[in-house]
Structure 1
Amino acid sequence: MDLTELLELEHQGWKSLCNSAGADFYGKMMTDEGVMTLAHGFVLDRDQVVASLNDAPPWSSYEISEERLVHSSDDAAVLVYRGKAWRGDAEPAFEAWMSSVYVKAGDEWRLASYQQTPIP
């Protein structure tokens, strides 16, 4: 896996969150044991992520920048990037450092862990 492939998966995820399809996308993308560690102190397993995204308002837009591939092997890769997302003009942007850990499952890459660290 290279940086371009990982970024494409991240963009697919963000687009699903903008289109209210995040529950379906992450339900398929995450490993069975996968977790998301979110900025507000929650650690959610795959089923909790899916349930929370069913009720989440969509993001209106997002940006990914300062992306870098921290580790890559034949069966695992880590992407770190700065993410910024908006839910409309009335709310301030959410901005955080984000990292996604992907593992190979058969012929597919799956999300094993995702973590956010807010940028003050």
Structure 2
Amino acid sequence: MDDNRVWNFEESLWTGDADQYHALIDDECVMVLPEQPFVLTGAQAIEAVSKTPRWSSVTFSEQQIMRPQEGLIAIAYKAEAQREGADGYVAYCTTTMRRLEHEEWRVVQHQQTPAPITSAA
């Protein structure tokens, strides 16, 4: 998967609906998110997303892509997400994807650490 496709794939997980999550999250995925229950399986993450308003937009910075072996991609980045009627959200994230078949990828790991809130001086 080329770099642009990696980032489009990741963006779709922030802005897509539960069907998108179901299509791209592996059953054996593990996630660590900043809200209870904190540690989720793939099925639990899909269920949580189906009950959560989606982000209307997200931008990535500080992006890193690693390809430690054929069929495995690990990324790290800073995400800044917005949705109407809510405060923005900034977090540092990692995602690991594995290839199942040609051009078919699934997330097997995702983690979010909220960025520290900084105040203007």
TM-score by length of 2: 0.83
Deviation, structure 1 residue 93: 1.3
1:29 is matched with 24
**2:13 alignment partner AA:** G
Equivalent residue letter for 1:45? T
Identity %: 30
Deviation of 1:49 (Å): 1.1
Which entry has the higher C-alpha Rg, 1 or 2? 2
Partner residue of 1:70? 66
1:27-64 deviation line (CA, Å, top 9, x unaligned): 11111201221023511111111111111112232211
Residue identity in the other structure for 1:38? L
Extract unaligned runs of 5+ from structure 2: 117-121
Q: Report 1:80-91 matches (<5 A).
A: 80-89=76-85, 91=86
Number of matched pairs: 114
Considering fraction of residues, name the structure with more helix: 1
Dislocated runs of 4+, deviation >4 Å: none
RMSD after superposition: 1.7
Aligned to 1:5: 5
Deviation at 1:3, TM superposition (A): 2.2
TM normalised by structure 1 equals: 0.84
Query: Helix, strand or coil: the match of 2:54?
Result: coil
- Answer yes or no: is the 8 Å Cα contact 1:62–1:86 preserved in 2: yes
